[in-house]
Amino acid sequence: MTLRPLFDANAASGGRDLGDLPEWDLTDLYAGPDAPELKRDLDWLEEACKRFADDYEGKIAGLDPAGFLEMVHRHERIEAVAGRIMSFAGLRYYQDTTDPARTKMLSDMQEKITGYTTPLVFFTLELNRVPDDAYAALFEDAELARYKPAFDRVRAMKPYQLSDEMERFLHDMGVVGDAWERLFDETISGLEFEVNGEVQGIEATLNGLTEQDRSTREASARALASVFTNNIRTFSRVHNTQAKEKEVMDRWRGMPTPQTGRHLANDVEPEVVEALRDAVVGAYPKLSHRYYELKRRWMGLDRMQIWDRNAPLPMSSDRVIGWDEARETVMNAYSAFDPKMAEIAQPFFEKGWIDAAVTPGKAPGAFAHPTVTDVHPYVLLNYLGKPRDVMTLAHELGHGVHQVLAAGQGEMLASTPLTLAETASVFGEMLTFQRMLANATEPAERKVLLAGKVEDMINTVVRQIAFYDFECKLHDARRGGELTPDDINALWMSVQGESLGPAFDFMEGYETFWAYIPHFVHTPFYVYAYAFGDGLVNALYAEYRDRPEGFQDKYFEMLRAGGSKHHSDLLAPFGLDARDPAFWDKGLSMISGMIDELEAMED
């Protein structure tokens, strides 16, 4: 078992004088790395895994429903204890990825738990050998029936299952792939960038791309390009190795495409993803191309440079938003939707469930990690006071609310597929944006808010689909042999002009900007989930706007379902279906409509 937090690639930051920023209190997991409870749980886990294998290996096909249910409960308990240990080790590590002691603890825990859980590999292998009629009969039992969606997802892997011996080998080898992920994390966190004579980390440097002063933005972009270029061989090695490892596993499993495993894990049909991808790519001209041409004119530029992409509009305020104001803004938006939503979010601020400050060695970006169902989620931010940071807070808090509500499903069913994991987060952003827009009194303020939301949606939809296309090209090309840094750079640039449009010039060095995106290393093909979530939420919000009666109850029911239902079943109460190509056009039309409104505001 490994910790895989859901890093958000678009997390942004910037600012000063932010107030009292919260930090994590991890004692709800363990009091510290030397806590006796940690050793107790490790000892219990080792023995529990052995007993589980002794009691059930070779016997699953003969279990009656009562025996099968007892086995499920025991497996969930093992997952909960292993998850608690890895959550504690992982969250401490992400607070300071440059601390050797934290790195060692995470590595040691991963190796121990991988070793302890190796005897459990038989569990899914034997399950997939149960005949279809016997499998169906098991889940006729009322108590077992609720677990069927989780086991159906396991059964979906049946055609790609290897021998028991090979599956155990791959399980043990998982720590090798994890080591390459840690190399990536530690390299990124340890990079230093000199901007206008000041040495800073990657988070502050990326923030420089959103500063009002154009020379600061350019200096930040060139510093990023220079440092990425100087380290490009390391990043190329990580990506080559990870892509090759995936290619080998996919080939042995007989998976037809590099994306197949992700689609299966997401419980989404490949044709749905391709319909989403095609709809977004087809909409590039009326979305990103049209918006950036507007922005170019607003900024009085002949050509947009890459450091202008996320620049504030000329009429934007550079006011720093303190932590208390950010908290109030998001909580008011949540409460206006439903007080219950704010009640669920409140403990995150009061009980040390958020780590907000930018500190040396801290992982960049943002995520919400659910830990285990009998504890609570933790949210990581790098908050520096820009409007986009407020949206990042709204986004991650939405993840947290979703994870709290889904926890009632238990370890096996609480976790949602990635395509649905972004639902509450993006909806939380939309609620916060709509409340801020409703409170805007001046046309310039409304224009800035609308433009900011359009940019966020372009980053969430257009940019992430461009990332997806880059990954598809990368993994396809890697199957033909080792890729040089120049090869990967060329693949990156092949999607940039197409997605961003003709308003842009691309500086020398921008071809290396693929290097810092964590999803490519941690969770290949994750990125389309952002576009999926944004399209889904746009359709949901349109439904809320047009037919608000009873919406909140259906919405909370959807979040409580966690991973217990397919996306079609979750959307059915709202009259929506992601398998309908028109579904994606509906979501994209919301973005296009906002651009229409911005065009109408031109002097």
In this structure, what CATH number is given to the domain that contains residue 89?
1.20.140.70
3-state secondary structure at position 107 = helix
Q: Quick check: is 225 in a domain?
A: yes
Q: What is the per-residue pLDDT for 173?
A: 79
Q: Quick check: is 27 in a domain?
A: no
Nearest to 97 by CA among 5, 1, 21, 10: 5
* Same domain? 288 vs 382: no
Is pLDDT of 89 > 90? yes
Contact 311, 299 (CB under 8 A): yes
Q: What is the per-residue pLDDT for 170?
A: 83
In this structure, what token pair is assigned to residue 301?
A: 């530029």
Q: Quick check: is 439 in a domain?
A: no
Mark 271-291 as b/e (b = at least 16 C-beta within 10 Å): ebbebbbebbbebbeebbbbb
Which uninterrupted H or E stretch holds 378?
A: strand 378-380
Contact 32, 416 (CB under 8 A): no
Cα gap 536→528, rounded to integer Å: 12
* Same domain? 83 vs 148: yes
Is pLDDT of 156 > 60? yes
Is pLDDT of 8 > 80? no
* pLDDT, average across residues 160-175: 84
Q: Quick check: is 90 in a domain?
A: yes
Percent of the chain residues past pLDDT 90, beyond the cut: 79
Q: What is the pTM of this model?
A: 0.82
Query: CB neighbours (10 Å) of residue 572?
Result: 12
134: exposed, middle or buried (Cβ count in 10 Å: 0-12, 13-18, 19+): exposed
Q: Convert the pLDDT of each residue in 479-528 to its tens digit.
A: 999 999 999 999 999 999 999 999 999 999 999 999 999 999 999 999 99
* Same domain? 279 vs 332: no
Q: Convert the pLDDT of each residue in 453-471 to its tens digit.
A: 999 999 999 999 999 999 9
* Same domain? 296 vs 354: no
Residue 338 domain boundaries: 323-416
- Range with the poorest average pLDDT among 254-258, 415-419, 513-517, 550-554: 415-419
Cα gap 585→383, rounded to integer Å: 34
Percent of the chain residues past pLDDT 70, beyond the cut: 97
Q: Quick check: is 436 in a domain?
A: no
Nearest to 316 by CA among 444, 408, 414, 136: 444
* Same domain? 240 vs 342: no
Which uninterrupted H or E stretch holds 379?
A: strand 378-380
Q: What is the per-residue pLDDT for 347?
A: 98
Among 101, 129, 156, the domain boundary falls at 156
Q: Band of the pLDDT at 164, cuts 50, 70, 90?
A: confident
* Same domain? 299 vs 188: yes
* Same domain? 512 vs 596: yes
- Range with the poorest average pLDDT among 51-55, 188-192, 396-400, 585-589: 585-589
Cα gap 461→499, rounded to integer Å: 10
Q: Band of the pLDDT at 603, cuts 50, 70, 90?
A: low
Q: Band of the pLDDT at 16, cuts 50, 70, 90?
A: low
Look at the chain and report how many structural domains it folds into.
Answer: 3
- Range with the poorest average pLDDT among 320-329, 342-351, 467-476, 535-544: 535-544
Contact 552, 600 (CB under 8 A): no
Q: Convert the pLDDT of each residue in 33-81 to its tens digit.
A: 999 999 999 999 999 999 999 999 999 999 999 999 999 999 999 999 9
* Same domain? 485 vs 523: yes
Contact 264, 153 (CB under 8 A): yes
Query: CB neighbours (10 Å) of residue 367?
Result: 21
Q: Quick check: is 3 in a domain?
A: no
Cα gap 559→406, rounded to integer Å: 6
* Same domain? 450 vs 539: yes
Contact 578, 571 (CB under 8 A): yes
The CA distances from residue 120 to 52, 55, 167, 250, in Å, are 7, 11, 11, 22
In this structure, what token pair is assigned to residue 187?
A: 């390299």
* Same domain? 141 vs 223: no
Q: What is the per-residue pLDDT for 261?
A: 94
Is pLDDT of 286 > 70? yes
Nearest to 286 by CA among 592, 594, 598: 592
* pLDDT, average across residues 138-167: 91
Nearest to 446 by CA among 454, 455, 456, 436: 436
Cα gap 301→296, rounded to integer Å: 5
Cα gap 522→116, rounded to integer Å: 23
Higher pLDDT, 481 or 3: 481
Using a CB cutoff of 8 Å and minimum separation of 24, what contacts does 295-299 make?
295/451, 295/503, 296/503, 297/602
Query: CB neighbours (10 Å) of residue 29?
Result: 24
Which uninterrupted H or E stretch holds 369?
A: strand 367-369
Q: How many residues in total does the chain contain? A: 603
Query: CB neighbours (10 Å) of residue 497?
Result: 13
Higher pLDDT, 168 or 147: 147
Q: Quick check: is 18 in a domain?
A: no
Dihedral of CA atoms 248, 250, 252, 255 in degrees, nearest 10, equals -160
Contact 538, 382 (CB under 8 A): no
* pLDDT, average across residues 382-392: 90
Q: What is the per-residue pLDDT for 399?
A: 96
Cα atoms found within 13 Å of the Cα of residue 445, Cβ hemisphere only: 9
Say which CATH number the domain at 244 has: 1.10.1370.20
Q: What distance, in Å, lies between the first and last C-alpha atoms of the chain? A: 57
* Same domain? 301 vs 448: yes
| 3-class SS string, 176-224 | HHHHHHHHHHHHHHHCCEEECCEEECHHHHHHHHHCCCHHHHHHHHHHH
Q: What is the per-residue pLDDT for 334?
A: 98
* Same domain? 531 vs 496: yes
What one-character DSSP code corresponds to residue 312?
A: P
